[in-house]
Chains A and B, each alone.
Chain A
Amino acid sequence: MTPRLRCAALAVAMLLLITLPWWVGNSYYINIASQILLFAVFALALNVLVGYAGLVSLGHAGLFAIAGYTAALILQAGHGHLAANAGAVVVTLASSAIFAVLALRSTGIGFLMITLALGQIIWGVAYRWASLTGGDNGINVTTRPSPLGLSLSNAPSFYFACLIVFLLAVGSMVLFVRSPFGASLRGTRDQARRMSALGYNVWLIQFLAIVFSGFWTGISGLLFIYYNQFISPQVSALTASAEVLLMVISGGTATLLGPIAGAVIVVVMKNVVSAYIERWNLVLGVIFILIITFMPEGLVPGTARLLRWGWQVARARWNRTAGGAVEERRP
């Protein structure tokens, strides 16, 4: 894509996102757009690890739930939204750091298993420590915050809050990916030994990446509890971790648009298709199999590859007919 085309596409996308409540109209669908945005933030956060660090986590729903539960508990205790959000961010960052110290004992499958176990511990606490978390009954979040006096209680206003957070997350990812630190992280993914021999502290780089990922995971967890106004252990379940991992992998790891596309697919399937087809999980499974079969690199890089290929074929055919016409004229 030429820079001009890229700018045009970006402008159109921004315009569509900003005007979405008006052209969608129905508040049910505006809410689905909010869900897509908040899960896109979650998927972007996980992509920092899966895509750029090469560390696959199956426990991120645990961090997501820690942010949600912390905020819900602080609100339940009668404190304000500012205290709840600040407290949630601090607790999530601290949890991410502990998560990182434990999980970075290993890489590859070992890392995956430790994150899986940590996620399950958090689920266990949420489910079994009923006196704190309410167990299966969960915790209600009765109000949404009203930053700068703007109420977020209706669908369009909450959508805009999600959109702002989403754009901030995307912006921070763009900066991160092209920064020296981002390049270092990709280096540790590709050649950890070499990075160490070049003077990079591989452990610290991976640790900071996990905390950065944890930060945006926590932020998406906060959006989630304000969206649902309820949190239960289900949020921290293994299936929730697997779902967001599927978003990242199906959309395309180590890309900016991939996790967003993945979030669109999963959220639309869950909410829209499930209204028409009872076994929507089956449809989702078939879609994932099709993506993995025909675009193993993920939907976004795969589509880009197909478009490039189509463009080359079309241009080759065009050149051949043009060349043929010239030859015919020659004698």
Chain B
Amino acid sequence: MTGNVAALAVSHLSKSFGGLRVTADVTLAVEPGERRLIIGPNGAGKTTLFNLITGEIAPDSGSITLFDRNITRVPSHRRPHLGMARTYQIITLFDRDTILRNVTLALLGLSRLRWSAWRNIDHQEDIIGRAREALARVGLDHIADRPLSQTSYGERRRVEIAMALAQDPRVLLLDEPFAGLSIDERRDVRELLNAVPRTVTVVMIEHNMDVALDWAERITLLHFGEVIVEGTRAEVVAHARTREVYLGH
């Protein structure tokens, strides 16, 4: 750690479901602008950790800090307003709406306009224009008006990422953004993530280590809810525990 305030810090975070400890005393700190990969086999508690960080579930103990603010008790719907955005492992979009409306909803979520019950949403040129820009950034502007139900899985992944990026977050949490994608689609998503500016801190979950290995600067290995190894890419890959947990030998 340098002397800077961490973009995202988790301290002694624990969560149990009944007798099962899914997050066990997890402590980690992500530097501003860092690219952090969290890996671990299935059931390691990666998604639970994200759900704790975004506030979808409350921790039993421990604290979460976003820059210099303790957000442990901040409701989940306030956290995007503080600069936190996420994507879901299982694509969670609005199937009945167009791609453009999906991204518009993402922008509206941070705007006071969302409480207006008399303005026409289709006349909000400013927000709709910004939604089109966000779609252009992920190369989907040419099909912006297509209903989401008529898009491919790979396109939906990009819509998910476009929605998160449209909110101009300080910390971006990506839950297995490569899951279920073809090799070509993976390359597209990779390029998209490479283009994310350094003002955004990115934390990515991936259970398949190879997919995002060269993207990551630091890697945290989770196993049974615990941090087993943390360090630079080379350190973690070379670590004996990584081989044991991950490669099974």
Q: Residues of A at under 8 Å CB distance from B?
A: 175-176, 178-184, 186-187, 190-191, 193-202, 212
Contacts and interface: CB of A to CB of B under 8 A. Distances in A.
A100 to B, nearest CB: 16
A254 to B, nearest CB: 10
Contact of A179 (B85, B88, B94, B118): B118
B96 interface: yes
Contacts of B121: 178-180, 182-183
Contacts of B77: 195-197, 199-202
Interface string B108-123: 1111011111111110
A318 B105 CA distance: 42
A200 B116 contact: no
B167 interface: yes
Contacts of A179: 116-121
A179 B115 CA distance: 9
Given A194-B88, A195-B109, A198-B106, A183 B101 contact: yes
For the complex of A and B, 3 pairs with smallest distance between CB atoms: A198-B109, A199-B80, A199-B109
Contacts of B78: 199
A198 B80 contact: yes
B166 to A, nearest CB: 10
A191 B117 contact: no
27 contacts: A176-B117, A178-B121, A178-B122, A179-B118, A180-B115, A180-B116, A180-B117, A180-B124, A181-B116, A182-B121, A183-B105, A186-B96, A187-B94, A190-B96, A191-B94, A195-B77, A195-B109, A197-B85, A197-B88, A198-B106, A198-B163, A198-B167, A199-B78, A199-B79, A199-B80, A199-B167, A200-B114
A198 B80 CA distance: 6
Interface residues of B, number: 38
Interface of B: 54, 56, 75-81, 85-86, 88, 92-96, 101, 104-106, 108-111, 113-122, 124, 163, 167
Given A179-B121, A183-B108, A191-B93, A197 B114 contact: no
Contact of B76 (A176, A182, A191, A196): A196
A197 B108 contact: no
Contacts of B85: 197
Contact of A180 (B54, B88, B93, B114): B114
A197 B122 contact: no
Identify whether the interface residues of A are mostly helix, strand, loop, or mixed. Answer: helix
A195 B95 CA distance: 14
B92 A191 contact: yes
B117 A175 contact: yes
Contacts of B79: 199
Given A178-B122, A194-B92, A196-B77, 14 more contacts: A175-B118, A180-B114, A180-B117, A180-B121, A181-B117, A183-B101, A187-B94, A187-B105, A194-B93, A196-B56, A197-B86, A198-B80, A198-B163, A199-B109
A27 B81 CA distance: 58
A104 to B, nearest CB: 14
B105 A193 contact: no
A191 B106 CA distance: 12
B186 to A, nearest CB: 23
B81 A199 contact: yes
Contacts of A201: 75, 77
Contacts of B105: 183-184, 187, 195, 198
A269 B118 CA distance: 36
A181 B114 contact: yes
A176 to B, nearest CB: 6
Contacts of A180: 108, 111, 113-117, 119, 121, 124
Contacts of A195: 77, 105, 109
B8 to A, nearest CB: 16
Contacts of B113: 180
Contacts of B106: 198
